Structure 1
Amino acid sequence: MRLSPLLFVASAMATLDLDLSSRSSIASAASSVAYNMMTYYVGNQTGQVPGILPGSLSCNPNVAGTYCWWEAGAMWGSLINYWQYTDDSTYNSIVSESIQFQRGPQNNFNPPNQSRSMGIDDQVFWAFSALDAVESNFPEAGGDNPSWLALAQGVFNFQTAYWDSATCGGGFRWQVYSFNSGYNLKTMGANGGNFQLSARLAYVTGNSTYGNWANQVWDWMYSSQLMTLSGDDLYIWDSTDTANDCTNADNLVWTYNYGTVLSGAAYMYNYTNGSSVWETRVQQILATTFLLFFPSDYGGNIMIEMECEPKLICNQDQKSFKAYLARSLAITALLVPSTAAQITPKLQATAQAAAESCNGGVCGEQWYLASYDSTTGVGEEMAALSIIGANLMDSSMIPLKLSTGATSTPDPNAGGTTGTTPSTAFTKTITTGDRAGAAILTILGSAFILGGVWWLII
C-alpha cells in the first residue's frame, strides 16, 4: 500500500493531535503513524518479496532509504502491538504473510536470501515478533504454516548450537558464520537478544529448560565486559572482542540494548514468581536507562538516543532503536508492577514529545525539540508508533502464557537442523554497515560523546 502524493502532502500539512487522557485520541494518532510507516513497504506489490523492506537484500544502514532484514522483522512486531492496542486489524494479513514468508526452510528465520550474513541478533528480532503474536493471541497463519510459538522455539533451538565456550568463557558471537565480518565480536544484541528470547519462552511455556538457559546467558553477560555495575546502576555496553579475549568493551550505549535486557529481566521476574534477585536487576537496569536516555537536559522524561541523535548522525538502524526501549518499558511496567509509577510518566511525556515531532503521520527523530526536524523513515515512524501505542497498554494486555490463555501450539523440537552453512550462492563478506551493530565502528568517529558516558561511571 502506497500513499499518493496528494494524500502525503495533505497529511504532512496537518499536525498530529494527541490527548493522552483519551484512548481514542491515542489510537487515532497511532493509526496515522502506522499508516505512514507502511508507505515504505512494497513487499505486497507484484514482483516484490514479501516481508522485507527496500534494500534488505544488500543491507547498508548508512544509505538513505535502505533497511536491513532484521528491521522489517521488528516492524511486523510493532504492528502486532498496534493491533493489540487498538483492535485495528488493517495490517494483520500483511503481517502474517510477511513473517511466514521470511521464516526460512527450517522454520527458524534463517532464509536463504539472508543466511549469507546472518547474525544472532537478526534472528531474535523476528522471534520477538513471533512471541508478540503468541502473547497477544494474534491470529495464527493456519494451513501448513508453523505456529508463532513454534517459530520462536525454532530460533532458540538453532541458536543454542552457537554458544561459544571456547572463547571468553562463553557467550554468543555476533555473526552466525565465521566468514562474516564481525564474527570476532560478542555483542549485547546477540547475547541480550538470546537472553530475552529464552526468558520469554520460559514465561510462555513454563519450561525450566528455557529458564535455565536464560540464567546461563545472564550470568555470562554479567561476568563479562558487556556489563559494568557502578553503585546501583548497571551499564550495558554494545560489544567486546574475542581477538583480545574479551578483556574490554567498546563503551557504547544504545536504547535497544537496554530495552532488550530490561524486558528479559522483567519476564524472568514474573517467571520466577517475583524473585527479589530479578527485581533488583530490573531496578538496576531501569535506573541506568533513566540516567542515560532520559537526561535532565531535556526535562528528564523524554527519551533520546544519546550516542547519535543530538548530531543527527544516527543510521537507519539506530533511528529505530527507541521503538524497542519504548515497548520494553511498557511491558516491564506490567510484568513488574513496582516499576509502573517510575515508567508511566516517561512513557507519557515521551509520547507527547514524539507527537509534537510529527507533521501528521510523518514523524521526526529528535523528540525533545517539540517540532518536526525534517527526518523521516521506517525507524522514525516505528519509534513514534511504539511510544504512542505504549500509552494504551493496561493490565488487560499482560502478556499471555500457555497457562493463562495463550493458544499458539508449542513445538519444542522446532527449527530443523542447526548449524547449517548457507550455500556459496548466498555467501559473501559483509561490512560492519550490514547489521544493527554497525554502530560499533561507524560511531567511533563521534568519540567525543563517550566522554560523557565515562564521566557518569567515574
Structure 2
Amino acid sequence: MDMLEGAIHAAAPGATFIAPQHLDISDPGSIKSVASTIAYGTMSYYTGNITNTPDTIAIFPQPHYWWQAGACWGAMLDYSHYTGDESYDDVITQALLSQVGPEFNFMDARYAGSEGNDDQAFWAFSILEAAERNFPQPDDFIPPWLDIAENIWNTMVLRWDNTTCGGGLHWQIYPSNPNGLDYKNAVSNGGLFQMSARLARATANETYIQWAEKIWDWSQKIGFIDENFNVLDGASSAHDCQDVNPLSFSYSQGIYMYGSAVLFNYTDGDDVWADRTNRLLQASRSYFGPFPNSTNIILSLHGRNDTDDAFNFARC
C-alpha cells in the first residue's frame, strides 16, 4: 500500500464525514468532522504518490498550477495541526520536501516557466507553517524548515527592484517568462511582507521587521494599499507604477492582513499594527455578500483567469 492510499485508508474508518452545510460552529466535533470531509475530498484529487515520479509528487493534476499545490499542502498541514489528525502527515512531508530544489529555496528549474515571486511565496507560507507548527522533518540531509524559509526570503529580497517605482518586486522572476515581467503586484510584495513578518517573529532578527516595515510603507506609498485599506492588484513598472490596477482580490487582502496581524503579535500589541490590521479586516468586508444572492458568503477572487482559478483554488 502506497503512502497516499495508507493515508486515505487511515482517515476513512475513524472519520465521521459531515457535509459543510451541516457545520455547527459551536461544536468542536462538528468542526473537525467537516474539516475531515474537506481534507479527504482534497486528497482525492491527489495522485502524485501513486504515479510516484519527480514530476508528479506534490503536484495536483492539470489544470492546477504549482503555486496552488503549495497552498494546498499548507492547508493540509494546518488541518493536521488544528484537528490532531496525522493521517496525511507523511504525504505532506514528502510533498514539501520534494519541491525544495537544489539550493533548498524552492527555485526548481522544472517550474521556471511558471514560477513567479507570488508562486514562490505560497510555498514559503507552507514552509513557515511547518516551522511554526514544529512539524516533523525526517530527512536530516535537508535543512530545517525555518532555514528553508530564510533561504526563500534571501532569494526574493535580492529581486527587490529600486530602478522603477521606487522599489518593489515584479510579478515574474525570469526574463524568459515575459507575461507580467513589467508588472509589480500586491500578491508578490504582500508575500514578501508576510514572510518578513513571520520570520521576524520566529527569529527576532531586526532585519526582517525592517523589511516588513519597508514593504508596507512602499505598498501604501505606491497605492497598492489605498486610503480605505483595500489592497489593489498592481501596476506597470513601465509606467513607474502610476497606473495602479483598481481590481482587488481576497487573497492579496488576506496576505497583507495576516502579515500585519503577525507584527501586531510580535510587537506586543503595537497600536500602529493594531490599527492597520483592523482596517485591513474592515476593508475585507467588501468580499462578503457583494451580490444579493451571496449575503455573508465570501467571494474569493484572486487573480488572472479568475473563473478557472477560483474554481480550482476552492478545492484546496
Q: 2:188 aligns with which of 181, 187, 190?
A: 190
Partner of 1:289: 284
Inter-partner Cα distance in structure 1 for 2:85 and 2:184: 39
Higher relative contact order (CA 8 A, sep 6+): 1
CA RMSD of aligned residues (A): 2.5
Inter-partner Cα distance in structure 2 for 1:100 and 1:12: 30
Counterpart check, 1:127 vs 2:116 = no
Partner of 1:52: 59
Inter-partner Cα distance in structure 1 for 2:195 and 2:299: 25
Change (3 A) 1:381 1:299: closer
Partner of 1:279: 274
3-state SS in 1 of match to 2:81: helix
Counterpart check, 1:263 vs 2:270 = no
Instruction: Kindly provide the CA deviation profile for residues 207-259 of structure 1, in whole angstroms up to 9, marking residues without a partner as x.
Output: 11100011111111110032210xxx212111100121110211111110000
Inter-partner Cα distance in structure 2 for 1:53 and 1:306: 20
Counterpart check, 1:254 vs 2:188 = no
3-state SS in 1 of match to 2:307: coil
Change (3 A) 1:191 1:80: same
Q: Are the aligned partners of 2:121 and 2:191 in contact in 1 as well (CA < 8 Å)?
A: yes
Partner of 1:315: 307
Q: In the TM superposition, what are the counterparts of 1:54-453 in structure 2 within 5 Å?
A: 54-55=61-62, 66-180=63-177, 181-229=179-227, 233-295=228-290, 297=292, 301-305=296-300, 314-319=306-311, 377=312, 379-382=313-316
Which one-letter code corresponds to 2:61 in the other structure? P
Q: Are the aligned partners of 1:225 and 1:240 in contact in 2 as well (CA < 8 Å)?
A: no
Change (3 A) 1:150 1:219: same
Partner of 1:428: none
Which 10-residue stretch deviates more, 43-52 or 173-182?
Answer: 43-52
Shift of 1:16: 5.3
3-state SS in 1 of match to 2:235: strand
Inter-partner Cα distance in structure 1 for 2:77 and 2:39: 11
Q: Are the aligned partners of 1:67 and 1:316 in contact in 2 as well (CA < 8 Å)?
A: no
Q: Are the aligned partners of 2:124 and 2:152 in contact in 1 as well (CA < 8 Å)?
A: yes
Q: Are the aligned partners of 2:185 and 2:235 in contact in 1 as well (CA < 8 Å)?
A: yes
Inter-partner Cα distance in structure 2 for 1:216 and 1:131: 21
Change (3 A) 1:287 1:240: same
3-state SS in 2 of match to 1:45: helix
Q: Are the aligned partners of 2:67 and 2:119 in contact in 1 as well (CA < 8 Å)?
A: yes
Change (3 A) 1:26 1:13: closer
Which one-letter code corresponds to 1:249 in the other structure? V
Partner of 1:451: none
Q: Are the aligned partners of 1:293 and 1:305 in contact in 2 as well (CA < 8 Å)?
A: no
Q: Are the aligned partners of 2:18 and 2:33 in contact in 1 as well (CA < 8 Å)?
A: no
Instruction: Kindly provide the CA deviation profile for residues 102-138 of structure 1, in whole angstroms up to 9, marking residues without a partner as x.
Output: 0100000111211233211111111100111111111
Inter-partner Cα distance in structure 2 for 1:296 and 1:43: 38
Unpaired segments ≥5 residues, structure 1: 56-65, 320-376, 383-458
3-state SS in 2 of match to 1:259: helix
Instruction: Kindly provide the CA deviation profile for residues 347-379 of structure 1, in whole angstroms up to 9, marking residues without a partner as x.
Output: xxxxxxxxxxxxxxxxxxxxxxxxxxxxxx5x2
Q: Are the aligned partners of 1:203 and 1:267 in contact in 2 as well (CA < 8 Å)?
A: yes
Q: Are the aligned partners of 2:251 and 2:302 in contact in 1 as well (CA < 8 Å)?
A: no
Change (3 A) 1:183 1:270: same
Partner of 1:35: 40
- Which consecutive segments of 4 or more residues in structure 1 shift more than 4 A? 1-4, 11-16
Instruction: Kindly provide the CA deviation profile for residues 298-350 of structure 1, in whole angstroms up to 9, marking residues without a partner as x.
Output: 67532123689xxxx8434334xxxxxxxxxxxxxxxxxxxxxxxxxxxxxxx
Inter-partner Cα distance in structure 2 for 1:78 and 1:249: 31
Percent identity of equivalent pairs: 37
Unpaired segments ≥5 residues, structure 2: none
Q: Are the aligned partners of 1:80 and 1:132 in contact in 2 as well (CA < 8 Å)?
A: yes
Inter-partner Cα distance in structure 2 for 1:121 and 1:307: 12
TM-score by length of 2: 0.88
Q: How many residues align?
A: 302
Q: 2:24 aligns with which of 19, 23, 30?
A: 19
Which one-letter code corresponds to 1:317 in the other structure? D
Change (3 A) 1:86 1:307: closer
Shift of 1:273: 1.9
Q: Are the aligned partners of 2:252 and 2:302 in contact in 1 as well (CA < 8 Å)?
A: no
